[in-house]
Amino acid sequence: MGKRKKPAASGSSAAGSKPPSACIVPDLLYLGPVSATANTGFLQRSGITHVVSIGKLPATVTEGISYERLSLADDEAAALADVAARACAVIDAAAASGGRVLVHCSAAISRSPAVVSAYLMRSRGMTLRQSLETLVHARDAVSPNPGFMRQLAEMEKELFDGRSSFDVSDVVPQTRLMNYLL
């Protein structure tokens, strides 16, 4: 029986291994779990200049990167709008200065994808369906909680004169969002 290879060291990526985060907007926006913030190789290769932490700050910080912590519980009753507006301001400011942003929460399944979906609608003119499809294509585990989905649907209606591109009431909690989009 052969020996097992040791896992790749932080910062390197073995062939076929999952990248530490997903690129959402080329040369600007990445989405990933908190573990991506400790991957200095990824941060350097991707040119990350800003990290938006949805929840708590990562345990490891990298010199030369600006960190912004935005408090948001992964709870259906948690208010998304103000956090999304603040994240949009950070991302837009980074874009204006040629920076690149990693947005993360613990697992990049609910909170940070909801915030990034709001950014894509507000700053990139995408509908809710387009933003969710973009996220799911990049990271198939994306599945904002039902409360965030309802708030994103309301945000879309505000942005697009009452129009809605995606009926969030069809989404069954704890079901992969990609099942509804692809």
- Catalytic residue numbers read 105
Q: Cβ of 91: how many Cβ atoms within 10 Å? A: 27
Strand partners, 15: none
Tell the burial category of 11 from Cβ atoms under 10 Å away from its Cβ (0-12, 13-18, 19+).
middle
Instruction: For Cα atoms 74, 79, 80, give the angle at the middle one, nearest 5 degrees.
Output: 80
Helices (H), 12-110: 40-46, 81-96
Tell the burial category of 154 from Cβ atoms under 10 Å away from its Cβ (0-12, 13-18, 19+).
middle
Contact 78, 152 (CB under 8 A): no
Residue 136: HSE in the Cβ half-sphere, 13 Å Cα cutoff: 16
